[in-house]
Structure 1
Amino acid sequence: MILQKDLFCRAEKWLFFTKLIENHRLWKILLCVELSTYLQEIEVIPKKYTSYVFSFFMALLMSCLMSLLISIFNVGLVDGIILIWLKAWSFAFSVAFPMIIIVSPAVRKLVSLVVDNSE
């Protein structure tokens, strides 16, 4: 009797988790559909601003990662590391974004000098 009850409980749990996973997949599909519908409705940035948009995201991500790693390297995983990192990140981003825009033409020129364009 105890064995049957234990098996029944396990079967119930298994059904619960399979339904939960199926619902999770359904929610992911619905979320993707909803997100793609939303993204189709918003206005996109004109192509002529591509270099600025690229510079923005490059500065955002690189300053985020570098400031986090440098903050952890300098002070370790101490209490308040998140605030230390956010302060460093805000400063790093405010320097990185204009610097990327300023040095981008020189970097493009260097890349064109070292990359073969004969294809």
Structure 2
Amino acid sequence: MSRNVFRRVVERRGLPHRLTPVVFAFYMSAIMAFLMCLVITAANSGIGPGYIDSAWRAYKLAMPVAFVCVLIVRPVVVRLVTLTIERNQE
């Protein structure tokens, strides 16, 4: 592979910038849903045999729901942050 071809491959890796909100929603929902499933499963059933399996079953339901929710709620949160933070930084 010539140097120019390699350089183009390296520079083009990743998704287009316009997908930033979707990628953000995916990572945020994946991490938060996982952590919440671990905590809620532990609170409801305790940490014992089958804990990881129970948390995983909950996560398989929670992750897609969380992803859609973050996509919907993100613009509202951005607006609320804009309204909450001072405009002038002096």
Normalising by structure 1, we get a TM-score of 0.63
Structure 1 alignment gaps of length 5 or more: 1-39
Displacement of 1:66 after TM fit?
0.6
Displacement of 1:42 after TM fit?
7.1
Q: Summarize the alignment of residues 1-119 of structure 1 with structure 2, pairs less than 5 Å apart.
A: 40=10, 43-119=13-89
SS at match of 1:61: helix
Identity of aligned residues (%): 35
Which has the larger share of helix? Answer: 1
- Going from structure 1 to structure 2, the CA distance change for 1:42 and 1:85 (only over 3 Å counts) comes to farther
SS at match of 1:44: coil
Displacement of 1:78 after TM fit?
2.0
Which protein has the larger Cα radius of gyration, Structure 1 or Structure 2? 1
Q: Deviations over 1:90-114 (max 9, x none)?
A: 1111110000001111111111000
Displacement of 1:84 after TM fit?
0.3
Partner of 2:7: none
CA distance in 2, matches of 1:42, 1:90: 32
CA distance in 2, matches of 1:41, 1:112: 33
SS at match of 1:45: coil
Normalising by structure 2, we get a TM-score of 0.82
Q: Deviations over 1:23-54 (max 9, x none)?
A: xxxxxxxxxxxxxxxxx487211111111101
